[in-house]
């Protein structure tokens, strides 16, 4: 995995308006269409109101439209963001407002043979550990009781691993998990719920151990680029990261429906490049004409995942890290809208 990234020779055109960004994030490829063809029936997305949910759901709807069948794509959330729900309704998605923790609401949700599980909590977990476990481990177990015979894709995190040596090897799916902090431990609890459902009910699933999806409005690269742009320091103690374009992460998740199995198929989902935080900050500085204020000394380990399994199953992401850095630079240089939701990628003790 490369640390020093080459300059993109001919970067794809950056999506520089909100409509173009939403279109690009939700654009399915042939692999998504083929996967959904192999997984007939409705698609139910639980926890669809978060940062990734709307674009993933829209991608599923677009792929189903290409197939030309009449199945539904159903998005369930509490829908604090009413605009996101309205956009999905306009795109032909069936949206349902429901609190998954409400047993009666859960029971009334429709049956579906394909389910994407995206519900969970990360930030605030240290202050409310019981809620963290309720949302990240107990709730998915209840959902599995409701739909034990569905085909599932469940989002997890690379935080279930210990930090890896910065020089490698990086964490692989066969490595023993060593979560640090309530968030990481509760996410491993979610994974165990799916493993238990496979043993008891034969539930088929795929687990997405995701490291840092990047939309142009949020993500590790946005965190670094915005700090450079605004003259804020960039700490390099957590000196290396993996990232993936959110559109690619959406495609991987939907394609993994076709790889669901019992026991679960576990896949690290991130980009193949090991990025140096220092190099990325300096790249942004050079791109924006600003001297990056880089501080700290890189630790000898970091949260890094090996993506050999993902590459073997699905190939590499479409958008490379150099192109993604250029897209983010153009977005923040134009002062386009940001979500103001820091990733806190620099946290090393699991306290979110």
Distance between CA atoms of residues 143 and 140, nearest Å: 5
- Concatenate the DSSP letters of all residues of 253-276 into one string: HHHGGGG-BSS-EEEEES-S--EE
For residue 204, the model assigns a pLDDT of: 98
Q: What angle do CA 282, 284, 286 make, to 5 degrees?
A: 70
Distance between CA atoms of residues 211 and 270, nearest Å: 5
For residue 352, the model assigns a pLDDT of: 67
The answer to whether position 223 is within a domain reads no
The pLDDT of residue 6 is above 60 = no
For residue 191, the model assigns a pLDDT of: 98
User: What value does the mean pLDDT of the chain take?
Assistant: 93
For 198: left if phi > 0, alpha if psi spans -120 to 50, otherwise beta; the answer is alpha
The answer to whether position 99 is within a domain reads yes
For residue 126, the model assigns a pLDDT of: 65
Structure tokens at 30: 């042939």
Percent of the chain residues topping a pLDDT of 90 = 88
- Concatenate the DSSP letters of all residues of 14-49 into one string: P--SHHHHHHHHT---HHHHHHHHTS-S-EEEETTT
Chain centroid to CA 29: 18
Which of 147, 8, 173 has its CA nearest to residue 74? 147
The answer to whether position 197 is within a domain reads yes
The pLDDT of residue 156 is above 50 = yes
Structure tokens at 268: 């690290």
Structurally, the chain folds into a number of domains equal to 1
Residues 183-195 have pLDDT tens digits of 999 999 999 999 9
Distance between CA atoms of residues 42 and 64, nearest Å: 10
**Strand, helix or coil for residue 151:** strand
The answer to whether position 7 is within a domain reads no
The answer to whether position 240 is within a domain reads no
The pLDDT of residue 225 is above 90 = yes
The answer to whether position 352 is within a domain reads no
Residues 290-333 have pLDDT tens digits of 999 999 999 999 999 999 999 999 999 999 999 999 999 999 99
Residues 113-127 have pLDDT tens digits of 999 999 998 765 567
Distance between CA atoms of residues 73 and 54, nearest Å: 11
The answer to whether position 149 is within a domain reads yes
Structure tokens at 211: 């490291």
Residues 6+ apart with CB under 8 A from 145: none
pTM: 0.94
The pLDDT of residue 197 is above 50 = yes
Q: Range of 165's domain? A: 18-211+247-271+304-317
The answer to whether position 10 is within a domain reads no
Residues 6+ apart with CB under 8 A from 237: 296, 297, 298, 299, 346, 348
Structure tokens at 258: 């076709």
Instruction: Give CA separation, 327 vs 26, 53, 189, 240, 320, in Å.
Output: 16, 21, 36, 20, 11
Q: CATH no. for residue 193? A: 3.40.50.720
User: Given the DSSP bridges, would you call strands 164-165 and 114-117 parallel, antiparallel or unpaired?
Assistant: unpaired
């Amino acid at each position: 995995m490369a640390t020093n990234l080459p300059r993109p020779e001919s970067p794809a055109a950056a999506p520089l308006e909100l409509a173009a960004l939403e279109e690009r994030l939700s654009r399915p490829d042939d692999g998504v269409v083929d996967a959904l063809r192999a997984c007939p029936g409705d698609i139910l997305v639980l926890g669809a109101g978060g940062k990734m949910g709307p674009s993933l759901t829209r991608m599923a709807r677009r792929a189903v439209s290409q197939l030309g069948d009449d199945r539904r794509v159903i998005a369930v959330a509490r829908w604090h963001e009413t605009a996101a729900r309205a956009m999905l309704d306009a795109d032909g998605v069936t949206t349902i407002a429901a609190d998954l923790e409400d047993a009666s609401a859960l029971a009334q949700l429709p049956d579906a043979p394909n389910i994407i599980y995206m519900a969970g909590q990360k930030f605030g977990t240290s202050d409310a550990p019981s809620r963290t476990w309720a949302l990240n481990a107990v709730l998915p177990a209840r959902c599995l009781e409701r739909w034990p015979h569905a085909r599932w894709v469940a989002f997890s995190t690379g935080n279930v691993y210990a930090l890896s040596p910065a020089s490698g090897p990086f964490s692989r799916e066969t490595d023993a998990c060593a979560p640090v902090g309530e968030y990481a431990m509760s996410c491993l609890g979610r994974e165990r719920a799916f493993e238990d459902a496979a043993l008891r009910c034969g539930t088929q699933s795929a687990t997405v151990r995701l490291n840092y999806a990047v939309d142009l409005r949020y993500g590790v690269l946005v965190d670094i680029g915005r700090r450079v742009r605004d003259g804020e320091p960039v700490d390099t103690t957590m000196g290396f990261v993996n990232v993936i374009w959110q559109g690619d992460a959406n495609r991987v998740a939907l394609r993994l429906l076709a790889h669901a199995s019992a026991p679960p198929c576990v896949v690290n989902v991130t980009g193949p490049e090991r990025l140096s935080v220092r190099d990325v900050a300096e790249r942004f500085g050079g791109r924006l004409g600003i001297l990056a204020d880089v501080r700290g000394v890189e630790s000898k380990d970091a949260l890094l995942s090996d993506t050999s399994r993902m590459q073997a199953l699905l190939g590499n992401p479409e958008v490379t890290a150099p192109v993604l850095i250029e897209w983010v630079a153009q977005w923040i240089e134009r002062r386009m809208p940001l979500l103001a939701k820091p990733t806190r990628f620099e946290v090393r003790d699991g306290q979110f």
